[in-house]
Amino acid sequence: MLWRGILVIAAMLSLSGCLRTTVLQFSTGGELSENEAAWLRRFEEQHPTIRIRPVKLPAFSMSQHDSYVTYLSSGGESVDVFAIDVIWLAEFAESGFIAALDPYFTKEERDIYLPSLLEAGIYRGQLYGIPGVADIGLLYRNLRLLREKKLPKERSVRMAEILRGGVGHFVFQAAFSESLMCNLLEFFEAAVELSSDLRESLRQERTAWLEALARMKQAVAATRNTVLRMAEPESGELFLQKKAIYLRNWPYFLALLRQRNWRYGEDFDVVPLPERATIGGWYLVANASSPYKKEAAQFIRFMAGEEVQRTNLTQHYEKGKSPGLPSVRSLYQSAELRARFPELEVAERALKNARARFISPNYYEHSRIVLREVYAFLQNRQSAEKALARIEKQLAAAAGI
């Protein structure tokens, strides 16, 4: 009789909406888009006992990073689920800011993602981040200029072809920014397997570093050094103005071209970069101090799931909005989607051979060191050998060696 009474009371509480509601605080930085807000409502409809409260942070990437560090350093619970740049993952995991997600995702649930993207969410053998957006360097081609210059339209482009071009041939991002680091890694030969540890890589693969720097310097010189002032907007604008045949950029630029009514296969297309592209992207993570990790994992599973990513691709990305390319494997294998979005086949090929950036809890500090010295080299202010020596010396000092 006692158990029957308890069940009756539980049923009454459920019907009256009195069961305890969990409130998850969620941030992707910046303003929540209409698309994201709609998905939050959809999740709440499917999970009546969980509510999502958006937390607004600065839109600028590193300002978000600093805000998260401030919140999380004190063990605060001001955000339960949030999106981070993949290069922050090792730092946040090592600092104990984010929770390992292994207990909440089965092997089958992990295997829906492209392997290279899932691997980037793992640190010291544990899963900390789920890929929400696939970001990868791609080579954009102005097909009208290719035809005008009578250049071949092959499915792949070799580095030698890019490097022998002059002004108006190839543009990329060589201004002092994180994009320069991504571009640098893409000048390493594909056969080179760089160590994930930066200091180890400089010791073991020194010849490869010197060769990559030489190729990058040649590409910069071919633009008369104009790319040294170019980040993504400037290089993209040159391509849009039809002043460059080739452009290295991220997938978001596909949506921008659609906004400008550029037709894929007629006005432009994309092919994999000559060597190996750099992996970027944003990963969904859970606050290690959150008391609601199970619920957080449910929300992450939904927001990075196939339904959300398929809809983002077919209803938003196609219209020139830019939620990013999917990370879910099945969407790349869909014949229907590949027919509608030919870039999926190219992006999948690029992702299979992609290169992650160096894995370190001190990545941001280390990348600034590399960027300063490489930029000075590209400006002809020091030799490649001196740049590498200065990088090694500063990394040793940062490590207290």
The verdict on 319 and 394 lying in the same domain is: no
Are 130 and 144 within one domain? no
Q: Is residue 15 part of a domain?
A: no
Q: Tell me, what amino acid is at 44? A: E
Whether residues 41 and 73 share a domain: the answer is yes
- What predicted TM-score, i.e. pTM, was given to this entire model? 0.88
Share of the chain above pLDDT 70, in %: 91
* One domain for residues 150 and 272: yes
User: What's the pLDDT at 60?
Assistant: 56
Phi–psi pair at 237, nearest 5 degrees: -65, -40
pLDDT digits over 106-156, tens only? 999 999 999 999 999 999 999 999 999 889 999 999 999 999 988 888 888
Letter string b/e over residues 143-180, b meaning 16 or more CB atoms within 10 A of that residue's CB: bebbeeeebeeeeebebebbbebeebbbbbbbbbebbb
Q: Are residues 315 and 238 in the same domain?
A: no
Does the pLDDT of residue 6 top 50, yes or no?
no
- What tokens were used for 271? 């092919």
Residues 6 or more apart from 85 whose CB is under 8 A from it?
A: 61, 65, 280, 281, 282, 283
Tell me the mean pLDDT in the region 12-38.
74
For residue 401, name the pLDDT band (cuts at 50, 70, 90).
confident
Task: With respect to residue 158, please indicate whether it lies within any of the assigned structural domains.
Answer: yes
The reply to whether 296 and 345 lie within a common domain is yes
The reply to whether 181 falls in a domain is: yes
Instruction: Indicate the number of domains in the chain.
Output: 2
Q: Is 134 helix (H, G, I), strand (E, B) or coil?
A: strand
Predicted local distance difference test score (pLDDT) of residue 59: 55
At 13 the pLDDT is 45
Who contacts 48 (Cβ-Cβ below 8 Å, separation ≥6)? Answer: none
Comparing 30-39, 56-65, 277-286, the range with the smallest average pLDDT is 56-65
> Residue 191: pLDDT above 70?
yes
pLDDT at 259: 85
The answer to the question of residue 8 being in a domain is no
In the chain, pLDDT over 90 holds for what percent of residues?
A: 71
Largest Cα–Cα separation, the chain: 87
* Tens-digit pLDDT profile for residues 263-291: 999 999 999 999 999 999 899 999 999 99
Domain of 106, in residue numbers: 21-134+280-352
CB atoms within 10 A of CB 36: 17
Beta strands in 9-151 (DSSP E): 22-27, 50-54, 81-85, 122-123, 126-127, 130-131, 135-136, 138-142
Q: Average the pLDDT over 337-342 and give the result.
A: 92
Any domain includes 206 = yes
Q: By mean pLDDT, which of 2-6, 174-178, 191-195 is the weakest? A: 2-6
Of 352, 373, 390, the last residue of a domain is: 352
Q: Which CATH number characterizes residue 258's domain?
A: 3.40.190.10
Is the pLDDT reported for residue 157 higher than 90? no
Same domain as 34, residue 128: yes
User: How sure is the predictor about 346, in pLDDT bands with cuts at 50, 70 and 90?
Assistant: very high
Same domain, 64 and 174: no
Q: Does 2 map to a domain?
A: no
Residue 307, Cβ neighbours under 10 Å: how many?
12
Q: For residue 133, what pLDDT is reported?
A: 85
Is 142 in the same domain as 48?
no
Q: Are residues 28 and 77 in the same domain?
A: yes
In whole angstroms, what is the distance from residue 114 CA to residue 346 CA?
14
Residue 280, SS3? Answer: strand
Residue 3 maps to a domain:
no
Residue 69 has pLDDT above 60, yes or no: yes
Query: Is residue 114 located within the same domain as residue 143?
Result: no
Are 213 and 293 in the same domain? no
- Asked if residue 13 is part of any domain, the answer here is no
What would the pLDDT profile of 7-20 be if each residue is shown by its tens digit?
344 444 444 445 68
| Between residues 334 and 36, the one the model is more confident about | 334
Q: Decide: 257 and 143 in contact? Cβ < 8 Å.
A: no
